[in-house]
Chains A and B, each alone.
Chain A
Amino acid sequence: MAKATALELELLEKGIPRAPLWRRLLRLAGSQPLGVVGLCFIGLILFCAAFADYIMLHNPQEIAVGPVSEGPSWSHPFGTDRLGTDTFSRTIFGARIAMIVGMSAILFGTTTGSAIGIASGYFGGIVDSILQRLIDSLLAYPAVVLLLAIIAVVGDEDSPVKEFLREPEVHLGFLGATIPLGPAGVIPEGTVWGVPNFLDVIVIALAIGLAVAVGTARVVRGAVLSLKENMYIEAARAMGASDFRIMLRHIFPNVAALVVVLSTIFLPIAILAEAAISFLGVGVPAGTPSWGADIGDPSNRAEAFDGSWWVVFFPGLALSIVVLGFNLVGDAFRDISDPRLRGGGGGTPGM
């Protein structure tokens, strides 16, 4: 009796003993083998993106590093194209481009989107109406068409967006004054981390980010609408907190988890979007070793048509692996959170 009480006390004190974390994770992994495969795919691509410099055999842009239009061999595992560029190196480096564009798009898109969504939901009234009608009309375009329209506007060499990124300053025409917002060349135009034409690549990422922001804003606003009715918001206001402080300290932390989930959903979509528009020839500048650009490049396509299939096969395979990885992990998470709906819904339409 006394022994049982001691055990009860111990249980009360320490909680019901559970298996160690690593064992629980292992069990979870065992129940979701496909999810683990997906994680491995994502890990592989992240590894390639981070350590591309050490994995690549040649400079991905250098021509004549090997024989011209040769199939896969030991010295060129993925073959070479008509200029003797190493397809393996281009494919590995493509991971870095995909990740830089994807992550910048997500970073820009979810930040802007949550800011707009929080403000719209929190203030309500006329601010909400205007912002929501704006979002309505942006959602009235099919996603790919919206993206192409944004690209058509910002992709121009003298577009205001590029001008702004070169020299971040605001011209106030009516005052005749110029307000600098940052040093010129914060985003360099040359090669950064081995990525050529860095500024142009970032512009593409921002365009995709804008489309991401529209989706994020709508979802975040919905969450904020119910959040702001909570008692603690009223308490904060009663204590004299400003609107800005309430939004930043009380509302944002509560939607942060949602935003993280949205980011993981949007990341593969953003990577696909970059590949799709680069494939169409309106994305990253010609010659950039991006997967989409390599598949879509007219001379690569002509070459593949004539038998050198490897120049388009491997970049596309890498792209498919990333998207597959994210989808598998997403499915696994859905199964864990709701085992009734094994394999339902989701996906990335239209790409």
Chain B
Amino acid sequence: MRTYILRRLLLIPLIMLLVSFMTHSTFRIIPGSVAEIKCGLQCTPQLIADTKHEYGLDRGFFEQYGSWLGVYTNEDGKVSGVLQGNFGKSFLTTLSVDGEIQDRLPVTLELMALALILSLLMGIPPGIISAIRPGTPLDWVVRVASVLWISVPSFYLGILIITFGASWFGWSPPNFETGRAVPITEDPIKNLQTYFFPALVLSLGIAAVIMRLTRSSLLEVMRNDYIRTAWSKGLRERSIVWRHALKNAMIPVLTIIGLQVGGLIGGSVIIESVFALNGMGNYLLVSIIARDLLVVQSLVLLFAFVYVLINLIVDVGYAWLDPRIRYG
């Protein structure tokens, strides 16, 4: 177990190095258009060269990679890059990426946390009910709901909520008028009004996956011999489900929850755009549309890092929860 965790931990820097290298080289495929976008209509060869020099774009491929990563001197002679927590600055707005991340990270984190809580609430209890009462109308309702939740795209649902919320109830998310999401410390009610629907829309698909897996996993476990033994001992149903069945049934569910967090990251990019939340996903999207590739490069790396870290936590948690699994 300890060796397994250690090995996984040692693998992370390697994977991240590979990811960073791929990210960097991929964004170098694009011909030198970045400098041309920057100077716009007044582009002269001299101006392009100056801009390139200012951002270190005239340097060699590995020099650029090293300085972005933070193992080699920058164009101004300092060693400061991603490893030191310096994600560079925007090519177009010249704002530092770090500052933007500080402003935007809380938005995305709150959205994701709320979505995760909602998807657990809407996924696990219905899944359990449907598994211990298979074939009943209740089970049928849960299953139809789950297939609908999976099938309706989150962004479509979000647009519908905004559209019909406005025309039927005269309601729209508070951040539509003010242009910014109120932090939870300032006004919790307004904050929840802002985040509830985006989180709900984001969580439905994940809730459905969790619900379906909880159901099938619990159904599977309930057929085991030890459950039959528990029944014949005369235990009450509640204690069989809660004390005996659920523990084993939850192991695959936990794995899928971990895997869904990746979907949550991707989904937040889309949902932030639907509900005009200024989070990390929105930042990535705006930068891609503006072709602010230096920002895109750093953000993509950050997203990948978080994702790899979550996957590690899931794997380690899995090994810890299920002692039957031995990693050689």
Contact = CB atoms under 8 A, between A and B. Distances in A.
Interface of A: 34, 133-134, 136-138, 140-145, 148-149, 151-153, 156, 158-160, 272, 275-276, 279-282, 295-296, 301, 304-307, 309, 312-313, 316, 319-320, 323-324, 327-328, 331, 340-351
Interface in B256-305: 256, 259-260, 262-267, 269-270, 273, 284-285, 288-289, 291, 293, 296, 300, 303-304
A144 B15 CA distance: 19
Q: Which of B159, B172, B259, B303 has the most CB of A within 10 A?
A: B159
Contact of A348 (B27, B33, B150, B289): B150
B303 A142 contact: yes
24 contacts: A140-B16, A141-B300, A141-B303, A141-B304, A141-B307, A149-B296, A152-B293, A156-B33, A275-B153, A280-B269, A304-B159, A320-B153, A331-B147, A342-B134, A342-B216, A343-B143, A343-B216, A345-B212, A347-B150, A347-B205, A347-B209, A349-B205, A349-B209, A350-B260
Contacts of A312: 156, 159-160, 163
A279 B270 contact: yes
B313 interface: no
B288 A142 contact: no
Q: Which of A276, A331, A343 has the most CB of B within 10 A?
A: A343
Interface of B: 15-16, 18-19, 22-23, 26-27, 29-31, 33, 134, 143, 146-148, 150-156, 159-160, 162-164, 166-167, 172, 205-206, 208-209, 212-213, 215-217, 219-220, 256, 259-260, 262-267, 269-270, 273, 284-285, 288-289, 291, 293, 296, 300, 303-304, 307-308
Contacts of B209: 345-347, 349
Contacts of B167: 307, 309
Chain B interface, DSSP helix/strand/loop, else mixed: helix
Given A137-B18, A296-B155, A349-B260, A144 B269 contact: yes
Contacts of A301: 159, 162
State the 6 A-B residue pairs at the shortest beta-carbon distance, nearest first.
A344-B216, A144-B266, A350-B263, A349-B263, A316-B156, A324-B151
B216 A345 contact: yes
Nearest to A317: B156
Given A158-B31, A320-B153, 15 more contacts: A133-B18, A140-B16, A141-B307, A143-B266, A152-B291, A152-B293, A153-B29, A301-B159, A312-B159, A324-B147, A343-B147, A344-B216, A345-B216, A345-B256, A351-B155
Contact of B151 (A133, A138, A141, A320): A320
Contacts of A347: 150, 205, 208-209, 212
A333 B8 CA distance: 37
A351 B154 contact: yes
A305 B265 contact: no
Contacts of B146: 343
Chain A interface, DSSP helix/strand/loop, else mixed: helix
A341 B156 CA distance: 30
Contact of A148 (B33, B219, B264, B269): B269
Contacts of A327: 147, 150-151
B322 to A, nearest CB: 18
A343 B206 CA distance: 15
Contacts of A133: 18
Contact of A344 (B159, B215, B269, B293): B215
A312 B167 CA distance: 14
Contacts of A276: 153, 155, 270
Contacts of B308: 140
Nearest to B259: A349
A18 to B, nearest CB: 29
A305 B155 CA distance: 15
Nearest to B11: A136
A211 B18 CA distance: 18
Contacts of B15: 136-137, 140
Contacts of B266: 142-145, 350-351
Nearest to B252: A345
B196 to A, nearest CB: 19
Contacts of B22: 134, 137-138
Given A145-B284, A343-B146, A160 B29 contact: yes
Contacts of B148: 324
A148 B262 contact: no
B170 to A, nearest CB: 11
Contacts of A323: 150-153
Q: Which of A141, A158, A344, A347 has the most CB of B within 10 A?
A: A347
A350 B264 contact: yes
A104 B217 CA distance: 36
A47 B134 CA distance: 37
